Amino acid sequence: MTRLLTKPLKAFAIYALIILLVSIPVYVLVVDYIWVNELDENNWLTIQHTKQRLQVHDLTADEIERINRLWGELQPGLSIEKAETKIAPADSFYEITRPNFYDAEDDADRFRGLRTYVMLNGETYWLIIETNVEEWDETFIAIAVVTLIFFTILILGFVILNRRITAKTWKPFYQTLQSLQSFELSKNQKLLLPSTDILEFQEMNKSLEQLLKNNMDTYEQQKSFTENASHELQTPIALLKSKLDILLQHKDISPEISEILAGIEPALSRLSRINKNLLVLAKVENRQYSENKPLGVQEYILSAQSLFEDYINDKELDVTLAIQANFKIMANPFLLETLIYNLFSNAIRHTPVSGQIHIELKGQTLSFSNSGKAALDITQLFKRFSSTSKDRVSSGLGLAIIKEVALKYNWSIEYYFRNDLHTFSVRF
């Protein structure tokens, strides 16, 4: 993933690189053209001057010979030689590359030359001037290096500017993003979006606030609906239970009716559990268990173990504990109890007869492992009423409650299946 502002930066950088790369040969051409032009002009001026001076002095052939020798010693760029031809051809500019005596490092130097003809004493002479000119490749390297240095500076500038722009202009955007990331519908918090003078951000924030407000209202309604519904259901459930108790006392109940009555009780008890669990879920979501105290986790595990002893023995389960004593955690007693009892009863219910349950409390992690055959569908596991097994009694809410309690305290819940063991672990 790329960040929003690195994308244009990348494009800018690539564009700048292309332009600068293209500019190198162009610069080289231009610089070389200027060089050559300027040198040609210079050569021409020098040679004009020399020509004129030579013509002013009435020089003999010997004197010309001496001048040429002197030039050869003092100023090797200039030379005068007798030409074989009588007619004076036009001036000619030329370029030559040859080794330079003084410049040993370079194998060859480039020279720009001008050859002209001068008539002295009726004789035609070649007047030649050659001036050293920077080679192509050297100009190219110099320009390339300078360009790349500037490219680097440019990119650095882009990055710094980009950061500045990010920090300033995009600040409200990132603030909004951050508040959205930390926002949780279930936490009943207010979403604080930054005020901004940028129109688009303002509109985005406004829309977000509206969207969230609608969501929160719906969520609130749903929460209070759940709580109200389960409150309302409690009385009829209590009545059914009580009526059933009264009915059982009747003297003349036939075996058939008795069997029917026996079938009502588990269903009623399941109904009651579902309702209780819904209420607990609603209350956790409504932040009703706010009072926390330091609680010994070990005690809750041991009390659950003794409470569930009969169910453990009935299924002949092998329960092993590896629990560090004196581990305390800040939580609401009811919620910790609910969490541990649900994890424990879950393990008991889902372990086959004569299976194993291993409970471990180590470091900050409490884990319940129990024998099983195949891994459960982790995507469905913690959802409400999503049964991952055909267990009849499960209220379908046990794991949802576990998750909700963990969420409340920012504990992390993990499930994995390893070595034929289902493991649920809570990291406090």
Residues at the interface with other proteins (CB under 8 A): 231, 234-235, 237-246, 248-249, 253, 255, 258-259, 261-262, 265-266, 269-270, 272-273, 276, 291, 307-308, 310-311, 313-314, 333-334, 341-342, 345, 348-349, 392-393, 398
Of 338, 413, 349, 420, the C-alpha closest to 383 is 413
Distance CA 325, CA 127 (A): 109
Contact 400, 383 (CB under 8 A): yes
Nearer to other proteins, 121 or 258 (CB): 258
- Determine the straight-line distance between the first and last CA of the chain, rounded to whole angstroms: 32
Nearer to other proteins, 221 or 269 (CB): 269
Distance CA 397, CA 383 (A): 8
Residues in the chain: 428
Nearer to other proteins, 148 or 240 (CB): 240
Nearer to other proteins, 176 or 275 (CB): 275
Provide the CA 117 distance to its chain's centre, in angstroms: 75
Give me the least distance between CB of 271 and other proteins, in Å please. 9
Query: What is the DSSP code (8-state) at residue 195?
Result: P
β-bridge mates for residue 129, sequence order? 78, 114
| Dihedral (CA of 339, 344, 345, 351) sign | positive
Give φ, ψ of 416 to 5 degrees.
-150, 160
Give me the least distance between CB of 250 and other proteins, in Å please. 9
Nearer to other proteins, 31 or 233 (CB): 233
Give me the least distance between CB of 325 and other proteins, in Å please. 24
Give me the least distance between CB of 306 and other proteins, in Å please. 10
Nearer to other proteins, 261 or 381 (CB): 261
β-bridge mates for residue 416, sequence order? 423
Give me the least distance between CB of 409 and other proteins, in Å please. 17
Nearer to other proteins, 112 or 422 (CB): 422
Q: How many CA atoms lie within 13 A of 195 on its CB side?
A: 0
Give me the least distance between CB of 217 and other proteins, in Å please. 27
Give the strands of the sheet with 78-82, arranged side by side. Answer: 78-82, 123-133, 109-120, 92-98
Distances (CA, A) of 55 to 79, 121, 407: 15, 9, 106
Give me the least distance between CB of 400 and other proteins, in Å please. 14
Give me the least distance between CB of 402 and other proteins, in Å please. 13
DSSP of 270-310: HHHHHHHHHHHHHHHHTT-----EEEEHHHHHHHHHHHSHH
Give me the least distance between CB of 406 and other proteins, in Å please. 19
Nearer to other proteins, 127 or 331 (CB): 331
Nearer to other proteins, 276 or 384 (CB): 276
Q: How many CA atoms lie within 13 A of 125 on its CB side?
A: 25
Tokens at 374, concatenated? 């195949």
